[in-house]
Structure 1
Amino acid sequence: MKSPALTGGAFHFCVMRSTTAALQNNSYKTTISWGETILRRTFLIAPVAALALAGCSAKPILDPSDAQINALAATIRSLGDHVDPVEATRAANIAYKYPIALAAEYGVEDAPIAHNRKVNLGKKPRGLCWHWAEDLQARLIQENFETLDVHRAIANGLNPILLSHSTALISAKGDTMYDAIVLDPWRHSGTLFWSKTKEDKRYKWYPRLEILTERQRRRLAYEGDL
């Protein structure tokens, strides 16, 4: 069974282009190249991904309870004295309920890694972590909150071994993503996981734009354009 890292066209492109460039130069750079990063990530993750795919059924998505929504709303309100309680409650409702609609739209039937594989093979339309983050972010932005900001973040984005992960976050108006709340429906296949950014025990988050900029800088440096 292939690792998800082997199935995406973008991964194939990066590996082939970087490897070809290295062969043409008749040498490999001493620093970790963009292509080497992808290759290491592929071969080191493949066994782990295979194990994850072994139990590939998604847990049933249950409707959130009032207590769950109220707990998230209370935590959003606690982000700042100027946070509107009505907006906090509205954001909490969307964060819990909209991913349930997305799971149906994506056709989620499996655990996250297994569903990722189906998306990369073209068997499912969407459902990678950044799809969840992008769609939840867009839905929250539609609310035009006056006391809240919506952010995006990436974890493991520059890690040569671990697969990167994306999420949406919500903060008090004017605050950064480091003082926000992670809203991650991908982690449990549509059932919302949330925590304060710095309290997430699984992922260390960084601003999305910061990670994408650094990836681009490294890619250009490897290809000799910097």
Structure 2
Amino acid sequence: MISSRKNYWSRLSALVLATLIVLQVCVSSAQARRNEEPVVFAKSAEDPVLRHRVATLAPGVDPEEARLAVSTAYTTGRELARKWRVLWPPGLQNFLVNTGARKGGLCFQWATELLIRLDALQLKTLELHWAESYPGTASEHNVIVVTGKGQPFSQGILFDNWRYSGRLAWGPVNGDPEYEWKENQVELTGRLARIRSESAHRPKTAAKTETSAGL
């Protein structure tokens, strides 16, 4: 009887301890999520907070390049929203594009058009990255991430014009509560090669580049 009671209390103590450990892990995880920086809207093409964040990505970043990158990301979203007659929510725009009712507005098209414009800046102190989340699924999403030259992808800032239909959303690539971002260097290399090849063969008087279905 005494042995049976000891076993009972031992099992109960172990269960209580395990429960406390699980609760502590959950609390720690919740606290970590609260400490994540959210993805926020850029307030303007000259948003001082975003400009500062890009300029301070690494010691060697040129503040003027940071200003140009932010301005380009912001204005690209606004211009394409008008050009593609973008509707909210993004899923509706995706449907319209896929049925031929709109020419653009898929996430990879937003990212590609931004890549075109940022690449044209010939940045020397900033580096561009192609980021993807949930690749190969119906939830796949693509954005451009910017870092200091040679800086790890994980320390970069994402530029997302698709998520809010042309309004530039930005934030730390590892602090996004909605997506898990991974770098795809092969995709970046391929897209840049096509972009630069098309640019080299385009007449200098041509209008602004329009995303093709093949990009």
**TM-score tier after normalising by the smaller chain length:** 0.5 to 0.7
> 2: CA distance between counterparts of 1:86 and 1:118?
38
Equivalent in the alignment of 1:177: 153
Q: How many residues of Structure 1 are paired with residues of Structure 2 in the alignment?
A: 148
Q: Distance in 1 between matches of 2:44 and 2:144?
A: 22
| Number of the residue aligned with 1:11 | none
Give unpaired runs (5+ residues) of structure 2. Answer: 1-40, 189-215
* Identity among equivalent pairs (%): 31
CA distance in 2, matches of 1:77, 1:209: 23
What amino acid maps onto 2:114 in structure 1?
L
Indicate conservation of the 8 Å contact 2:130/2:187, yes or no.
Answer: no
The alpha carbon displacement at 1:207 in A equals 1.5
Consecutive unaligned residues of structure 1, counting only runs of 5 or more, are 1-61, 213-226
* CA drift at 1:211: 8.4
Residues 156 and 173, structure 2, Cα contact 8 Å, conserved in 1: yes
SS of residue in 2 equivalent to 1:167: strand
- Cα distance, 1:97 vs. partner? 1.5
Q: 2:44 aligns with which of 53, 65, 72?
A: 65
Q: CA RMSD in A?
A: 2.2
- Residues 158, 211 of structure 1: 8 Å contact kept: no
Determine if the alignment matches structure 1 residue 95 to structure 2 residue 73: yes
CA distance 1:205–1:211, change in 2 (3 Å): farther
Matching residue of 1:31: none
Q: 2:111 aligns with which of 124, 128, 133?
A: 133
CA distance in 1, matches of 2:128, 2:185: 14
Q: What's 1:154 paired with?
A: 132
Distance 1:201 1:211 in 2: 24
Aligned in 2, Cα 1:211/1:145: closer, same or farther, shift over 3 Å? closer
Q: How far 1:209 moved relative to its partner? A: 4.4
- Superposition pairs for residues 45-124 of structure 1, below 5 Å? 64-65=43-44, 69-124=47-102
**77-86 vs 168-177, which moves further:** 168-177
- Shift in CA distance, 170/95, structure 1 to aligned 2, threshold 3 Å: same
Structure of larger gyration radius: 2
CA distance in 1, matches of 2:187, 2:55: 29
Deviating beyond 4 angstroms after TM superposition, the runs of 4 or more aligned structure 1 residues are: 209-212
| 2:23 corresponding residue in structure 1 | none
